[in-house]
């Protein structure tokens, strides 16, 4: 039966940050130690710097959006010198500036080599600092799932230009602790603009010279992370070091003490402490604390600048727990999302935000819930879940900006009984994508972290506007090229679905063989981001191969786009490890899948078996289907033991050639190729070469030239010439942003590159497609030449438009210049189509040259038989 998907019903699970963080951590951490050694990231970053000047393919990227869907934002700063200027930063999307109080944004961060910005601060003279590296969740002391930073950057001209403070550049160390990998918070003395404090992954540090040099301040013995630091107008400094509260012994001091007393604030055990100091009265200091299960451990207040404390918000209560998904509930994820701030006009009014709930406290009303994203998700009273920053506008004391996993939200009336909130993500392009898919006409979808599956159809307020067509955390996504209304998506851990109307009416399409309890999930379980792939036979719309991976199997159905049925599902192979990536060959006959245990599986003859009518069961209730008897050939190879296989790229012209990429820092091999992938014994050769030692998340082989390999990494896109092994950086038009998926998909028959970045949305490129290659500057007669289909088999059509009747010369060459064909055609003015036979051409890439008098067009096309 059809089961309509209620995406909201999965909300509690899909919004759980731990699932996301665990997923990213397993992809990136070393498979042996289970740790993400920051030294490995530092070494990879330094190596990546050496490839910056090399751009072999010259790929030019075009940003596609979305420009109205934000991403995780931990840092917001109002410019104290300009009432209209505010800064915000995505944790992997860089720095953004608004000159109209947050109503719209402009990018000012792509020019810098580090986009992982998590903290912002401004000194009394106007100097602005930003800190990099996300270490503010589930910190194990040796790095988290977040991306490494590059210390602190400073602007002395009001935020127009920033430069890195060289004293804060991370340097590889002999132990796992790397200074300046994460700069969680920055604070500047209100009295001395050169006195700067930084809460870092290796403790609290202070500079006396505006960041030129730093010293570690007093704290616990050993290397312990500092997660927060605040300065009051009285000059006292308040810090969280090792999840304990410390205060400077004097204003603008370098010495810190651990106060003692009877309050449970001093005796409690916390997993995180967030601090806030009242600007109107620095005697009022607040601490929002998190217990070991991620729930509220209590809110504490000091009225004597941190010497003594009183608990004003209960701890370990199921009824007061902003870090839970709903109340009543214990536990939560406050170590991921804990935010607290104080009203600018009343030192006894504070706000605490967390997973999806925000409370306001006053001395007269006590605690009042003003945001509940799960129980009251209505316009005006909704803030996207996972709040990380609450910042008041110094020029408008009732206006507050909220940084959250959905970007930036604003309330203009924070002190009213019920404030109203609205999204402020206009042109704030910091979306963290997992995946990308494209329609034949260029529209795109992408699965995101915590912002659903986004659809960009160029028909919104801008051409980059996106709509969330599926909610929760996104996953893989596909758009049918036979039926452009047919969309496919997923949410975490094996919830997969399809839609007959571009996101509307989504439902699962599993049968009882893959989902016996009919709950919309794969019974065997699956990866947090569950891989699936769609292959279609363009001349037969009902033939639509769909394969997905579970925690121990590869599953397949041949009729995914037939919405009139629940198709039969077939287990192609069991696997060692969960399926982590999956790919179809260009002709649909071969499928490759990688696993979390380092294996690659090949399932061959799929299309042949389908054409032979062997994808069927003996009865509608049967669960018995023999893979071997059907003719499916299954082989496997261990590529990288215990590691996360991230992608398998298949040569579009030869299914025997594949490239495999893997994750997990702390290794020396990340890319392999095989030239015998169809054989019984697959041989893999390491081609990592001088690519920086870092996870390679996605890959594709160029259909126009199968020697071009394009991959996505923590530092953007790289290419390798497979014939020489030479690597090049390919980030023109985009920043050095983590890139999790790389695909080549036909757009109006032209193969475009598409990438999903984890911090700057979706990009595409036509550079390798040969669009209008070698156009003459005198195209006065010949216009608008289109070659289709592309790839071709036995016949290629050349569509062209002539301004007047002319003799047309059409020639075909290979990439080495060898001439294969030449035809002359006398054609009338207007639109014409000429068919050229290609059945004598071998598989490969060719150039088709069309000349009319002085007008010349050259097009690339690919022959695949």
Render pLDDT for 611-630 as a digit per residue (tens, 0 to 9): 999 999 999 999 999 888 89
Please identify, in words, the CATH class of the domain defined by 112-258: mainly beta
At 801 the three-state DSSP class reads strand
pLDDT-derived band of residue 378, with 50, 70 and 90 as boundaries? Answer: low
Residue 760 near residue 94, CB atoms below 8 Å: yes
Please tell me the predicted confidence (pLDDT) of residue 326.
84
At 151 the three-state DSSP class reads coil
Asked if residue 86 has pLDDT above 90, the reply is yes
Give the residue carrying structure tokens 């069309």: 850
Please tell me the predicted confidence (pLDDT) of residue 177.
80
Asked if residue 663 has pLDDT above 90, the reply is yes
Asked if residue 554 has pLDDT above 90, the reply is yes
The per-residue pLDDT for range 516-533, each reduced to its tens digit, is: 999 999 999 999 999 999
Query: CA-CA distances (angstroms) from residue 458 to 64, 67, 300, 425, 486?
Result: 9, 11, 49, 18, 18
pLDDT average, residue stretch 412-428: 96
β-bridge mates for residue 273, sequence order: 289
Long-range contacts of 669-674 (CB under 8 A, 24+ apart): 669/640, 670/694, 670/695, 670/696, 671/696, 671/699, 671/709, 671/711, 671/720, 672/639, 672/640, 673/722, 674/637
Between 66 and 261, the higher pLDDT residue: 66
Please provide the CATH number assigned to the domain covering 3-36+431-769.
2.130.10.10
Domains of the chain, by residue range, sit at 3-36+431-769, 112-258, 782-863
β-bridge mates for residue 557, sequence order: 546
The per-residue pLDDT for range 443-485, each reduced to its tens digit, is: 999 999 999 999 999 988 899 999 999 988 999 999 999 999 9
pLDDT average, residue stretch 499-503: 96
- What is the DSSP secondary-structure string of 652-709? TT-TT-EEEEE--SS-S--EEEES-TTSSS---EE--TTS-SS-EEEEEE-SS-TTEE
Q: What's the rounded Cα separation, in Å, for the pair 295 and 271?
A: 10
Asked if residue 380 has pLDDT above 50, the reply is yes
Please tell me the predicted confidence (pLDDT) of residue 176.
66
Q: What's the rounded Cα separation, in Å, for the pair 10 and 734?
A: 34
Please tell me the predicted confidence (pLDDT) of residue 139.
47
The per-residue pLDDT for range 106-151, each reduced to its tens digit, is: 999 998 989 999 999 999 999 999 999 998 865 444 445 689 999 9
Q: Residue 127 gets which letter from DSSP?
A: -
Asked if residue 218 has pLDDT above 70, the reply is no
Mean pLDDT of the chain: 91
Q: Rounded to two decimals, what is the model's pTM?
A: 0.88
pLDDT-derived band of residue 59, with 50, 70 and 90 as boundaries? Answer: very high
pLDDT-derived band of residue 339, with 50, 70 and 90 as boundaries? Answer: very high
Residue 441 near residue 748, CB atoms below 8 Å: yes
Q: What's the rounded Cα separation, in Å, for the pair 575 and 550?
A: 9
Q: How far apart are the first and last CA of the chain?
A: 39
Handedness of CA 586, 592, 593, 594 (dihedral sign): negative
Q: Is the peptide bond prior to 636 cis by the omega test (within 30 degrees of 0)?
A: no
Q: Residue 7 gets which letter from DSSP?
A: G
pLDDT average, residue stretch 262-271: 83
Asked if residue 816 has pLDDT above 80, the reply is no
Is it true that 3-36+431-769 and 112-258 share their CATH fold?
yes
Asked if residue 14 has pLDDT above 50, the reply is no
Token readout for 207 is 């500079």
Phi, psi of 610 (to 5 degrees): -65, -45
Token readout for 411 is 């309330």
Residues 6+ apart with CB under 8 A from 381: 370, 371, 372, 418, 420, 421
Q: Is the peptide bond prior to 791 cis by the omega test (within 30 degrees of 0)?
A: yes
pLDDT-derived band of residue 775, with 50, 70 and 90 as boundaries? Answer: very low
pLDDT average, residue stretch 796-815: 87
Handedness of CA 195, 196, 202, 203 (dihedral sign): positive
Q: Residue 723 gets which letter from DSSP?
A: T
The CATH fold assigned to 782-863 is Immunoglobulin-like (2.60.40)
Selection from 386, 463, 382 nearest residue 427 by Cα: 463
Q: What's the rounded Cα separation, in Å, for the pair 504 and 499?
A: 6
pLDDT-derived band of residue 222, with 50, 70 and 90 as boundaries? Answer: low
The per-residue pLDDT for range 560-588, each reduced to its tens digit, is: 999 999 999 999 999 999 999 999 999 99
Q: What's the rounded Cα separation, in Å, for the pair 284 and 275?
A: 11
The per-residue pLDDT for range 223-260, each reduced to its tens digit, is: 689 999 999 999 999 999 999 999 999 999 999 988 88
Please tell me the predicted confidence (pLDDT) of residue 804.
87
Asked if residue 55 has pLDDT above 70, the reply is no
Asked if residue 849 has pLDDT above 90, the reply is no
Query: CA-CA distances (angstroms) from residue 15 to 130, 449, 532?
Result: 28, 9, 21
Token readout for 647 is 């992608």
Please tell me the predicted confidence (pLDDT) of residue 51.
77
């Amino acid at each position: 039966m059809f089961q309509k998907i209620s995406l909201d019903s999965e909300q509690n699970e899909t919004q759980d940050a731990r699932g996301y963080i665990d997923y990213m951590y397993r992809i990136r951490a070393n498979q042996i130690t289970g740790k993400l050694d920051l030294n490995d990231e530092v070494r990879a970053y330094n190596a990546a710097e050496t490839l910056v000047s090399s751009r072999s393919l010259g790929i030019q990227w075009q940003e596609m959006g979305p420009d109205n869907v934000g991403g995780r934002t931990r840092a917001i700063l109002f410019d104290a010198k300009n009432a209209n200027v505010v800064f915000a930063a995505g944790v992997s999307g860089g720095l953004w500036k608004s000159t109209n109080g947050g109503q719209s944004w402009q990018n000012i961060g792509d020019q810098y080599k580090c986009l992982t910005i998590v903290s912002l601060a401004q000194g009394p003279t106007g100097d602005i600092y930003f800190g990099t590296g996300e270490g503010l969740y589930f910190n194990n002391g040796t790095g988290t799932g977040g991306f490494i930073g590059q210390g602190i950057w400073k602007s002395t001209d009001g935020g127009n230009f920033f430069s890195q403070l060289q004293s804060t550049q991370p340097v590889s160390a002999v132990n796992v602790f790397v200074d300046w990998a994460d700069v969680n918070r920055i604070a500047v003395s209100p009295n001395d603009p050169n006195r700067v404090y930084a809460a870092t992954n290796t403790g609290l540090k202070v500079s006396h010279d505006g960041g030129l040099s730093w010293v570690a301040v007093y704290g616990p013995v050993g290397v312990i992370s500092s997660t927060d630091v605040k300065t009051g107008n009285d000059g006292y400094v308040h810090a969280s070091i090792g999840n304990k509260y410390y205060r400077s012994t004097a204003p603008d001091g370098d010495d810190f003490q651990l106060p003692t007393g009877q309050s449970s604030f001093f005796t409690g055990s916390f997993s995180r402490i967030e601090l806030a100091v009242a600007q109107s009265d620095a005697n009022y200091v607040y601490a929002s604390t998190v217990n070991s299960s991620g729930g509220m451990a209590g809110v504490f207040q000091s009225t004597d600048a941190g010497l003594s404390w009183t608990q004003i918000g209960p701890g370990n209560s199921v009824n007061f727990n902003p870090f839970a998904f709903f109340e009543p509930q214990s536990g939560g994820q406050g170590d991921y999302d804990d935010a607290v701030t104080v009203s600018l006009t009343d030192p006894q009014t504070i706000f605490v935000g967390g997973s999806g709930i925000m409370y306001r406290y006053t001395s007269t009303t006590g605690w009042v819930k003003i945001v509940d994203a799960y129980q009251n998700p209505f316009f005006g009273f909704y803030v996207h879940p996972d709040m990380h920053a609450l910042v008041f506008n110094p020029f408008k004391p009732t206006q507050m900006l909220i940084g959250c996993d959905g970007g930036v939200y604003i309330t203009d009336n924070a002190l009213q009984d019920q404030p109203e909130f609205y999204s402020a993500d206009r042109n704030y392009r910091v979306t963290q994508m997992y995946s990308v898919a494209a329609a034949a006409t260029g529209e795109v979808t992408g699965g995101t972290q915590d912002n659903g599956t986004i659809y960009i159809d160029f028909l919104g307020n801008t051409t980059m506007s996106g709509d969330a067509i599926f909610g929760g955390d996104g996953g893989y996504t596909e758009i049918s090229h036979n039926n452009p209304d047919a969309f496919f998506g997923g949410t975490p851990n094996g919830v997969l679905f399809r839609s007959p109307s571009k996101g509307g009416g989504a439902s699962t399409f599993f049968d009882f063989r893959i989902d016996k309890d009919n709950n919309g999930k794969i019974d065997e379980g699956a990866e947090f981001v569950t891989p699936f792939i769609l292959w279609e036979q363009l001349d037969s719309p009902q033939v639509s191969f769909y394969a997905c991976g579970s925690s121990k199997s590869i599953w397949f159905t041949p009729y995914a786009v037939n919405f009139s049925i629940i198709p039969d599902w077939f287990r192609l192979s069991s696997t060692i490890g969960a399926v982590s990536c999956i790919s179809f060959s260009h002709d649909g006959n071969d499928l490759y899948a990688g696993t979390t245990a380092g294996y690659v599986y090949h399932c061959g003859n799929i299309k042949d078996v389908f054409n032979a009518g062997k994808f069927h069961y003996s009865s509608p209730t049967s669960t018995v289907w023999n893979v071997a008897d059907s003719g499916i050939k299954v082989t496997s190879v261990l590529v990288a033991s215990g590691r996360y296989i991230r992608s398998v790229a298949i040569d579009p012209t030869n299914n025997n050639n594949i490239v495999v990429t893997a994750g997990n820092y702390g290794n020396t091999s990340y890319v392999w190729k095989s030239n015998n992938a169809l054989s019984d014994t697959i041989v893999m050769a390491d081609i990592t070469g001088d690519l920086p030692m870092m996870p390679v998340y996605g890959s594709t082989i160029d259909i126009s030239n199968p020697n071009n390999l394009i991959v996505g990494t923590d530092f953007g896109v790289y290419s390798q010439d497979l014939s020489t092994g030479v690597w090049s950086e390919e980030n023109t038009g985009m920043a050095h942003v983590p890139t999790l998926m790389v695909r080549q998909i036909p757009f109006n028959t032209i193969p475009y590159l598409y990438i999903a970045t984890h911090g700057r949305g979706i990009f595409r490129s036509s550079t390798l497609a040969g669009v209008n290659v070698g156009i003459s500057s005198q195209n006065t007669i010949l216009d608008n030449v289109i070659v289709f289909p592309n790839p071709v088999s036995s016949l290629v059509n050349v569509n062209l438009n002539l301004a007047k009747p002319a003799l047309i010369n059409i020639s075909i060459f290979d990439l080495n210049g060898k001439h294969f064909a030449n035809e002359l055609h006398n054609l009338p003015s207007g639109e014409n189509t000429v068919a050229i036979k290609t059945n004598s051409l071998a598989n490969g890439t060719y150039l088709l040259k069309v000349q009319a008098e002085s007008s010349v067009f050259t097009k690339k096309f690919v022959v695949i038989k």
